[in-house]
């Protein structure tokens, strides 16, 4: 048994006017509660430090850059790193990253028990659009504010297991999990900000969105025989609702813990990493069963081309 106590730290809304200090206080409160419940790892959402700013169309780059972190850790978030180190708790955190040479990414990091950053992932599947779209009920400007991640889907050894990261829209793509699955991933950590209504299809509301969230995460876990921890920023930000539904899924694809609210809420589970072994040695023993000679289109073609 290789048991890891995981705390999925769902966060309620962050309003546009709110600063990082207020947000970090809330994150520290979640971390304190997680420590009280014996957590080894705390997982925060995508863009955990700010409102989900890609809904706002902004032309002034300096204003945009104020939503980005220029260093990690920086003064605003250092208390999180210090407390995580004191608690000997590993941490996964999503934020907007501005690199010293001016690149913008939607990033997640992983620390070890000493608070040291051991892994960085930059979101690869960026949804949305780059210019103001008057046809949409609200904007989703990730393609404007971020570049596609340039680090691939690496995995890291931590807490006696093998961990990977993904960010929000990545969870809908089977390639995300499979590339990590091929590196033996045992637990995938995912943060998300998912609007409760489809901006291009108003009849697609929270029920369908929560269904797709579960469907994607459960399939990824089952098909790669790994744990998946998916954590929301939820609730109503400046009038725009985001789904909750943070969940922990076991390597059989079953939900073992799920959030009940759209507020700051811990979702906890003791995850045995050895539970990944059976599936990896049997039905999803990739080395025995995969047929890569038939998968060429996956990497040679991006969009679908139907036959004539
Ligand atoms: N932050 C996201 O990547 N959100 C997307 C939206 C487009 C639905 C998601 O896949 O949840």
Span 51-75, pLDDT tens digits: 999 999 999 999 999 999 999 999 9
Residue nearest ligand 1's atom 3 by CA: 169
Provide the pLDDT confidence category of residue 306 given band limits of 50, 70 and 90. very high
- Tell how far the Cα of 121 is from the centroid of ligand 1, in angstroms: 17
Q: Determine the average pLDDT of the residues in 41-48.
A: 99
* SS3 category, 227: strand
Ordered domains of the chain (ranges, CATH): 3-300 (3.60.110.10)
Residue to mutate (ligand 1; options 52, 195, 232; most atoms within 8 A of CB): 195
- The predicted pLDDT at position 29 comes to 98
Does residue 172 line the site of ligand 1, with CB under 6 A?
Answer: yes
Does residue 51 line the site of ligand 1, with CB under 6 A?
Answer: no
Average pLDDT, the chain: 98
Is the separation of the CB atoms in 171 and 217 below 8 Å?
Answer: yes
- Tell how far the Cα of 169 is from the centroid of ligand 1, in angstroms: 5
- The predicted pLDDT at position 227 comes to 99
182-199 pLDDT per residue, tens: 999 999 999 999 999 999
| Residues in CB range of 43: below 8 A, 6 or more apart | 6, 7, 8, 9, 91, 92, 189, 191, 229, 231
281 catalytic? Reply is no
- The predicted pLDDT at position 94 comes to 98
Residue to mutate (ligand 1; options 95, 167, 169; most atoms within 8 A of CB): 169
- The predicted pLDDT at position 284 comes to 98
Q: Is the pTM of this model over 0.95?
A: yes
Does residue 196 line the site of ligand 1, with CB under 6 A?
Answer: no
Does residue 53 line the site of ligand 1, with CB under 6 A?
Answer: no
- The predicted pLDDT at position 257 comes to 98
Does residue 168 line the site of ligand 1, with CB under 6 A?
Answer: yes
Which of 168, 186, 226, 265 is catalytic? The answer is 168
Is the separation of the CB atoms in 109 and 120 below 8 Å?
Answer: yes
- Tell how far the Cα of 195 is from the centroid of ligand 1, in angstroms: 7
């Amino acid at each position: 048994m290789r048991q890891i106590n995981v705390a999925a730290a769902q966060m309620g809304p962050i309003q546009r006017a709110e600063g990082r200090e207020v947000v970090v206080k809330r994150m520290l409160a979640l971390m304190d509660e997680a420590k009280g419940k014996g957590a080894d790892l705390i997982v925060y959402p995508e863009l955990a430090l700010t409102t989900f700013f890609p809904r706002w169309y902004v032309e002034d780059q300096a204003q945009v850059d104020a939503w980005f972190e220029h260093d990690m850790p920086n003064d605003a978030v250092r208390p999180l790193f210090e407390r995580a180190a004191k608690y000997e708790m590993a941490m996964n955190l999503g934020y907007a990253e501005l690199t010293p040479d001016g690149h913008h990414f939607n990033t997640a990091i992983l620390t070890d028990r000493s608070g040291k950053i051991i892994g960085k992932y930059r979101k690869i599947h960026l949804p949305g659009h780059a210019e103001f779209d008057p046809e949409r009920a609200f904007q989703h400007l990730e393609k404007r504010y971020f570049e596609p991640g340039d680090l691939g889907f690496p995995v890291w050894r931590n807490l006696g297991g093998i961990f990977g990261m993904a960010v929000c829209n990545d969870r809908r793509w089977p390639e995300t999990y499979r590339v990590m699955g091929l590196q033996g991933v045992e637990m995938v950590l995912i943060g998300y900000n998912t609007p409760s209504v489809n901006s291009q299809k108003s009849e697609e509301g929270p029920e369908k969105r929560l269904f797709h969230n579960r469907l994607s995460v459960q399939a990824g876990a089952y098909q790669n025989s790994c744990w998946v921890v998916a954590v929301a920023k939820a609730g109503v930000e400046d009038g725009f609702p985001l789904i909750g539904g943070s969940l922990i899924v076991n390597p059989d694809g079953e939900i073992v813990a799920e959030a009940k609210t759209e507020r700051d809420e811990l979702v906890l589970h003791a995850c045995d990493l050895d539970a990944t072994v059976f599936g990896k040695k049997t039905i999803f023993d990739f080395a025995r069963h995969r047929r890569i000679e038939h998968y060429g289109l996956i990497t040679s073609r991006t969009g679908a081309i139907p036959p004539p």
